[in-house]
Amino acid sequence: MKKEIIKFGKLLYDKDLTSATSGNISIRFGNQIFITATGTALGFLKEEDIVLIDMEGRELNTNEKASSEKFLHVEIYKLRKDINAIIHCHSPFSTAFAASGKELSLPIVAENILYFGKIPIADYAMPSSKQLVNNTAKMFSDFDTVLMANHGIIAGAGNILNAFYKIETAENFAKTYIFSKILGNQKILENEEIAKLQVLRKKIHSENTEK
C-alpha cells in the first residue's frame, strides 16, 4: 500500500499534476486507510510519510499526523463502498476551472462524455474544514471526480491506478477546453450524439460493475 502511494505521488509530480506540499493520496485497506501525512510533498514521499488511520480519522500506531484533509477521504469511503483509492491535487488546468467556478461539462470531446459524463464543482469552503467535507463528499453520490471551488480536484476509484487515470484525464480535458477556447470556434457535439454517448457510457459502466 505504502509503495503504491509513493509511486503515484511521484508520478503526479513528474507529470506536473502536483507541486510542493499540496495534495494528498489515500488507499483503503479493509476498515483502515493509508493516507499521506500532513505537510508532505507527494513527489518525494517516504514510507514514514504514510499514516494509517481508522474510519473515524484517528491515527494508529504512528508519530506522524495524517493529512488535514483526512476527514474528506473518510467520508467518501463511507459513502462509496466501491471506492478504495482517492487522489486530491491542485493540477493547474483543472484547478483553473475550480478557481473560475466552472464545471468541466462542455461536450466538446466524446471520450470525456464517456469517461465522466461531466465533472461538477463543489461549493467553496475553507480547506480542511467540516464544511469542505460536507460540500465535496456529497458530490460523490453521483460522480467519481469533483472540482473543489478555488481549491483543486479530487477523484476516487476502485484502485489507485484508476484514480490517477481520472486525475490525468480530467487535466487533459481541461487543457483541451482552454486551448480550443483560445483557438476559437469550439465545436459542441449535437444533442443526438451526446445522447448516444450517454447510452454507451451507461452500458460500459454496467459491464464494469458486473465484473
Q: b/e per residue, 111-126, with b = 16+ CB within 10 A?
A: ebbebbbebebbeebe
What confidence category does residue 114 fall into, taking pLDDT thresholds of 50, 70 and 90? confident
Radius of gyration of the chain (CA): 17
- Residue 111's pLDDT is 86
What confidence category does residue 202 fall into, taking pLDDT thresholds of 50, 70 and 90? confident
Tell me the three cell numbers of residue 63: 508519530
Mean pLDDT of the chain: 93
Q: Is 193 designated active site?
A: no
Q: Show the domains of the chain with their CATH numbers.
A: 2-210 (3.40.225.10)
**Residue 61: pLDDT above 80?**
no
State the alpha helices, DSSP H only, in the chain: 2-14, 70-79, 92-100, 110-115, 130-137, 160-183, 191-210
- Residue 115's pLDDT is 87
**Residue 59: pLDDT above 70?**
yes
Tell me the three cell numbers of residue 203: 452500458
- Residue 28's pLDDT is 98
What confidence category does residue 209 fall into, taking pLDDT thresholds of 50, 70 and 90? low
pLDDT digit string (tens) for 30-51? 999 999 999 999 999 999 999 9
- Catalytic pick among 56, 59, 64, 69: 69
